[in-house]
Amino acid sequence: MAKKDKKDGGKKDAPKLRKLKAKVAKLKSRLAGESVAPAVKKPLAVSPLAPRGGFPVLPVIGGVEFAAAAAGVRYAGRTDVMLARLAPGTAIAGAFTRSSTRAACVLDCQAKLASGGSAEAGAAIVVNSGNANAFTGADGQQAVDRVTGAVAEALGLPASRVFSSSTGVIGEPLPWDRIAAKVDELKGALDDEGIEDAARAIMTTDTFPKGACAEIEGDGGPIRIAGISKGSGMIAPDMATMLVYIFTDAKISARNLQKILSRNVDNTFNAITVDSDTSTSDALLLAATGASDAAEISDLRSRVAKEFEAALRGVMLDLAQQVVRDGEGATKFVEVQVTGAETAEDAKRVAFAIANSPLVKTAIAGQDANWGRVVMAVGKSGAKADRDRLAIRFGDILVAEKGWRVPDYSEAMTSAYMKGDELVIGVDLGLGKAAYTAWTCDLTHGYIDINADYRS
C-alpha cells in the first residue's frame, strides 16, 4: 500500500517537477549568456470590467502609419512589436516615469526630446512587450541603439527621431536582434488603419487592447485625436507598467503640445492606481502630425486651443481608466472622491491612502461595506483631518458623519450597493475647498495568481 501511494504521488508531482526542471534549465542558459527560445503562454481571461463594445473604431490620423509583428521577444506566437511611422513636420511631446531605476528606453526618449531634434525629418516609435530592458546596465542603452538604429536605417530617419519603449520583465537583457530582424517586415506592413494591431502588440498582462478618440472643429477643418495604451499591473502615480501613445493631426508646436500635455497628466494618468507600485518603464508620447486642414493652434487661450485641450484630456482620462478596468484580477472599478480638504496636497494624500489600502481594496473585493477601513485610511494618510467634521459616503449612501455612524444607517442597503461593479467612495473632510479624485480597483486572489507566475 505504501509503495502504491509513493507511485501515485510521483505521478501527481510529475508536472510540477517538469516545470521546475524547465525553470532551472532556463536559468542556466541565461547565466551562460545563451539565447533562450521563447516560451508559449496562454492568454488571460478578459477583465469583466472591459468596455462592452470591445476596441473602439478610431479615426485615421493623417501622417501616421502602424504595423505590428511577432518577434518572439519572450513568448512564441504572440504579436509583441509595434512600429509607428510619423510624417515630416510631426511635433512630439512626452511624459515619463520618475522612478530612480528608469529603463534605458525611457532615458533615451527623455534625452531625445530634450535635444529638440528637427521635426522636418519625420519620426518613428518602436515598442516591444515581453521585456522591459530595465536594470540591464550599459547593455540596455546598446540594445536601444541597435533597435532604433535599425528602424532609422529602414525608414531613412535620423536615429535621434526614433523613440522606443519596452515593457515586460525587468533585469533581463533585451533580445534586440529579434526585434531588429522584424524591422523590414514592419516597414512593409505599415498601414494608416493599423492602430488596433499596434494596441495589441504592446500588451503584457493586459486582457484587452485599449483605445480612445475625440474630434473637435478647428478653424478651417476638423482636428482628430486617437490614442492607445497598455497597463494592468505595477500601476501607481508618476505615470503609473504603463505605455501610452496618442496621435493627433493638429498643427501645433512641440512646445505648446508639451505645455498642454504636462498640465493634464496629474489628473489623468497620475490619478490612477492598481497596486501602488511605480513602473520603471512608464512612457507617454504625444505626436501631432499637422495633417489637419485646420489652422495652427498657436494661442493657447483661444477657443480651439481650449477645446483641443479638453478633448485631449478626455482621451487621456479614458485611456487611464481603461488601465484600471484591466487591473490584474480586478472585478470592481472604484472612484475615490475627496472633498473639503484644507489643501490640494491633503486631498490627494487622502484619496491615495484609500485607493492604495489593501484592507479597503480587499473589503471591496469581498463586497463588504466596511467603511471603518476608509476611516483608517484617512487617519493614516498624514493629511489634516477632524473626526467630527468627517463624512463618508458609499455612492449616494451617507454612512458616517460627525464622528459616528449615521442614525439611520442601513447595512443591508450599503451591502447591496457593494455588489455593483462600479463603485464610488466619497470622503468630505469638512475643512476647506480642495478636492481630488483618484481611480482604483479591488484586490482579489487573481492579482496574486498573475504575479506569482509572472516570470514563468
Known active-site residue 79: no
Confidence (pLDDT) at 46: 93
User: Model confidence over 13-52: pLDDT tens digits?
Assistant: 555 555 555 555 555 544 444 445 555 556 678 999 999 9
Q: What is the rounded CA–CA span in Å between residue 210 and residue 363?
A: 28
204 is in an annotated binding site: yes
Confidence (pLDDT) at 446: 77
What average pLDDT is seen over the chain? 89
Confidence (pLDDT) at 168: 85
- Whether residue 7 has pLDDT greater than 80: no
Domains defined for the chain, CATH in brackets: 64-325 (3.60.70.12), 333-452 (3.10.20.340)
User: Of all residues in the chain, what percent carry a pLDDT higher than 70?
Assistant: 87
- Whether residue 66 has pLDDT greater than 50: yes
* Spatial contact of 196 and 162, defined as CB atoms under 8 Å apart: no
273 is in an annotated binding site: no
Handedness of CA 427, 430, 431, 433 (dihedral sign): positive
Q: What is the rounded CA–CA span in Å between residue 256 and residue 427?
A: 36
User: Model confidence over 246-260: pLDDT tens digits?
Assistant: 999 999 999 999 999
Burial of residue 77 (CB within 10 Å: 0-12, 13-18, 19+) is: exposed
Q: Which of 90, 148, 167, 241 is the catalytic position?
A: 241
Q: What is the rounded average pLDDT of the residues 332-336?
A: 97
Q: What is the rounded average pLDDT of the residues 208-215?
A: 97
> Would you place residue 240 in the very low, low, confident or very high pLDDT band (cuts 50, 70, 90)?
very low
Q: What is the rounded CA–CA span in Å between residue 360 and residue 339?
A: 19
Which residues are CB-contacts of 282 (< 8 A; sequence separation ≥ 6)? 96, 97, 99, 106, 238, 239, 240, 241, 242, 243
What residue type is assigned to position 91 of the chain? A
Q: What is the rounded CA–CA span in Å between residue 13 and residue 1?
A: 18
328 is in an annotated binding site: yes
- Whether residue 454 has pLDDT greater than 60: no
Confidence (pLDDT) at 5: 44
- Whether residue 273 has pLDDT greater than 60: yes
Q: What is the rounded average pLDDT of the residues 203-226?
A: 96
Confidence (pLDDT) at 148: 98
Query: What HEC string does the chain produce?
Result: CHHHHHHHHHHHHHHHHHHHHHHHHHHHHHHCCCCCCCECCCCCCCCCCCCCCCCCCCCCCCCEEEEEECCCCCECCCCCEEEEEECCCCEEEEEECCCCCCCHHHHHHHHHHHHCCCHHHCEEEEEEEEECCCCCHHHHHHHHHHHHHHHHHHHCCCHHHEEEEEEEECCCCCCHHHHHCCHHHHHHHCECCCHHHHHHHCCCCCCCCEEEEEEEEECCEEEEEEEEEECCCCCCCCCCCCEEEEEECCCCCHHHHHHHHHCCCCCCHHHECCCCCCCCCCEEEEEECCCCCCCCCCCCCCHHHHHHHHHHHHHHHHHHHHHHHCCCCCCCEEEEEEEEECCHHHHHHHHHHHHCCHHHHHHHHCCCCCCHHHHHHHHHCCCCCCHHHCEEEECCEEEEECCEECCCCCHHHHHHHCCCCEEEEEEECCCCCEEEEEEEECCCHHHHHHHHCCCC
Which residues are CB-contacts of 236 (< 8 A; sequence separation ≥ 6)? 273, 274, 275, 276, 277, 278, 356
* Spatial contact of 286 and 94, defined as CB atoms under 8 Å apart: yes
* Spatial contact of 429 and 340, defined as CB atoms under 8 Å apart: yes
> Would you place residue 456 in the very low, low, confident or very high pLDDT band (cuts 50, 70, 90)?
very low
Q: What is the rounded average pLDDT of the residues 64-83?
A: 95
Which residues are CB-contacts of 366 (< 8 A; sequence separation ≥ 6)? none
User: Model confidence over 104-131: pLDDT tens digits?
Assistant: 999 999 999 999 877 788 999 999 999 9
456 is in an annotated binding site: yes
Q: What is the rounded CA–CA span in Å between residue 397 and residue 404?
A: 15
CA distances from 278 to 69, 141, 234 (A): 28, 21, 6
Nearest to 274 by CA among 373, 200, 213, 364: 364
Q: What is the rounded CA–CA span in Å between residue 244 and residue 309?
A: 17
230 is in an annotated binding site: yes
Q: What is the rounded average pLDDT of the residues 342-347?
A: 98
